[in-house]
Amino acid sequence: MSADIRLIATDLDGTLLDENGEVSPANALALADAVAAGITVCIATGRSHASASRFARELGIGDSIAISYNGAMVRRVAEDEPLLHVPVEAELACAIVHHCISERLHLDYFIDDRLYVTHVDYWARIYLARTGDMPIPVGDLRQFDGRTPTKLLVSADPELVTELFPREQQRWAGKLFVTHSLPEYIEYLNPDATKGSALHWLAEHLGIPMEQVMGIGDQLNDLPMIQSAGVGVAMPGAADRVKQDADYVAASAAEGVAEAIRHYIDI
């Protein structure tokens, strides 16, 4: 099958990256072939801009634009200032911090491209190992009351997250976009900050119709991107809702990105 794709946006964890956090040779080659064919490749991740940029440079697309923080930021890989930044409103950020303190939940607070935590515990070390983002311990996150973070993230055991997630969605309904990126995470963002809205913005910025965009992902935070792209691709281990809304479900976990690219694009 051949499609006139001009922009490919791919998630990292569970999609482009294997279980060791690395890009398979097949995925790297397919993306390189896409770039050589004149197709724009964009990392679209819940991770920070710094983490997204590292993979962009490794893939040889260091001059590209990355979608980071689940769509709260769109920024050129090599530049300091974002093209688009949609942070959490100060009042809501304050409410989340106080809520997490009362519930004794580990909270990551992302602002000014830095990650702040109360103290470096198990979850902070896990996040560092996964992303390379160094947590900065500050003791009390209430010192940031009045600020507008890019996003906030709760980490907990998957069983607890499964229990908390629907409650958190209901608690902040209409005020925040509450989503999953990994089984241990609940992420809180401005309701206008999704991978789908960021991909729309980027496509318009580049003058590319959404019909010529491919979005590839696996978790609920990827769903808006998969729904909005002309071709939505889900990984074999994706959440059921993501698979249902995808145009194509890859058979390979490690090489699913390459599989989808080869399926839709003659390169």
List the domain boundaries for the chain: 7-85+193-264, 90-189
d(CA 85, CA 72): 6
Residues 6+ apart with CB under 8 A from 17: 23, 55
Residue 267 confidence (pLDDT): 85
Residue 256 confidence (pLDDT): 97
Tell me if the pTM is above 0.75: yes
Of the pLDDT bands very low, low, confident and very high (cuts 50, 70, 90), residue 221 is very high
What is the sign, positive or negative, of the torsion defined by CA atoms of 65, 123, 239, 190?
A: negative
Over residues 107-131, the pLDDT tens digits come to: 999 999 999 999 999 999 999 999 9
Question: What is the CATH superfamily name and number for domain 7-85+193-264?
Answer: HAD superfamily/HAD-like (3.40.50.1000)
- Please provide residue 3's backbone torsions phi and psi, each rounded to the nearest 5 degrees: -130, 150
What mean pLDDT comes out for the span 198-214? 97
Residue 2 confidence (pLDDT): 59
Residue 102 confidence (pLDDT): 96
Q: Which of 19-23, 49-53, 132-136, 261-265 has the lowest mean pLDDT?
A: 19-23
Residue 1 confidence (pLDDT): 61
Question: Exposed, middle or buried by CB within 10 Å (0-12, 13-18, 19+), for 158?
Answer: exposed
Residue 19 confidence (pLDDT): 86
Strand order in the sheet with 151-155: 135-137, 114-117, 106-111, 151-155, 185-189, 177-179
- Between helix 256-264 and helix 25-36 the angle, nearest 10°, is 30
Pick the CATH number of 90-189 from 3.30.1360.170, 3.30.1240.10, 3.40.640.10, 1.10.3720.10: 3.30.1240.10
Helix (H) or strand (E) holding 240: helix 240-245
Q: Which residue has the higher pLDDT, 266 or 223?
A: 223
pLDDT at 208 over 80: yes
How many H-runs (helices) and E-runs (strands) does the chain carry? 9, 14
d(CA 74, CA 192): 13
Q: What average pLDDT is seen over the chain?
A: 96
